[in-house]
Amino acid sequence: MVSTTEIERGLLSDNFTIVPRLDQPSTYKDHQYQGSNVQRNDDLARTTTLYVGNLSFYTTEEQMYEVFSKAGEIKRIIMGLSRHTKTPCGFCFVEYYTHEDALNCMKYVNGTKLDDRIIRTDLDPGFKEGRQFGRGRSGGQVRDEYRQEYDEGRGGWGHMRAKQ
Ligand code: GTA
């Protein structure tokens, strides 16, 4: 049974599936991460960094500060940029000062709406220079290469669909 609170907090995606276990890291693994699985789990258990996805290309750093400071004091925000144009491409990394604040963000900010989009946060083992750039062929995120639906906030059609 879906509660009103879940709908109000934006925990439901457009097709009404409940986003599961919002306070847990996803199964995402960065294929460029250099350490072992043990090291990665250790990093995640202490991390102060979150990856934030499903952002509109038009959402500003100022808006992010406003939303993410609800979970704790922010150390820095690193905007995700197109490798080619160096313009925002729909993700960012948020660093807090404490692990507890990062966990609070997973609990209370993950799944809420920003610019009418449900944002997804994921605990991240830590930012390294270069990770701020999209890895898709078009310069943006890989997921936007394969996207089949039109998404106005993320540049319209996915790159491969646009080429068809
Ligand atoms: N902590 O969930 C995440 C996450 N994501 C999605 C990206 N990053 C993340 N970090 C955390 N959690 O620093 C980070 C990356 C990098 C930056 C940009 O954001 O570590 P990217 O999105 O451009 O590239 O990264 P990434 O992450 O290397 O892409 P990946 O994992 O290959 O693919 C993303 C999605 O694209 C897949 O889940 C899938 O839905 C789709 N996809 C990929 N390949 C295919 C394919 N062949 N066919 C169909 N769909 C595909």
| Segment 13-27 mean pLDDT | 54
Q: How far apart are CA 49 and CA 102, in angstroms?
A: 7
Q: How far apart are CA 35 and CA 30, in angstroms?
A: 11
Segment 107-133, tens digit of pLDDT: 999 999 999 999 999 999 999 999 999
Distance separating the N- and C-terminal Cα atoms of the chain: 41
Q: How far apart are CA 126 and CA 117, in angstroms?
A: 25
Q: Is the ipTM of this complex over 0.85?
A: yes
Looking at the CA of residue 125, tell me the nearest atom of ligand 1. Answer: 1
Contact (Cβ atoms closer than 8 angstroms) between residue 146 and residue 158: yes
Reported pTM? 0.87
Q: What's the DSSP call for residue 32? A: T
3-state helix, strand, coil in the chain (%, to 5): 25, 20, 50
Looking at the CA of residue 136, tell me the nearest atom of ligand 1. Answer: 23
- Partners of 122 in beta bridges: 51
CA separation (Å) from 122 to 24, 26, 114, 164? 8, 6, 16, 32
- How far, in Å, from the CA of 3 to the mean position of ligand 1? 31
Select from 27, 51, 55 the residue to mutate for testing ligand 1; criterion: most ligand atoms less than 8 Å from CB: 51
Handedness of CA 77, 134, 128, 35 (dihedral sign): positive
pLDDT on residue 16: 38
Segment 60-118, tens digit of pLDDT: 999 999 999 999 999 999 999 999 999 999 999 999 999 999 999 999 999 999 999 99
Flag whether pLDDT at 152 surpasses 90.
yes
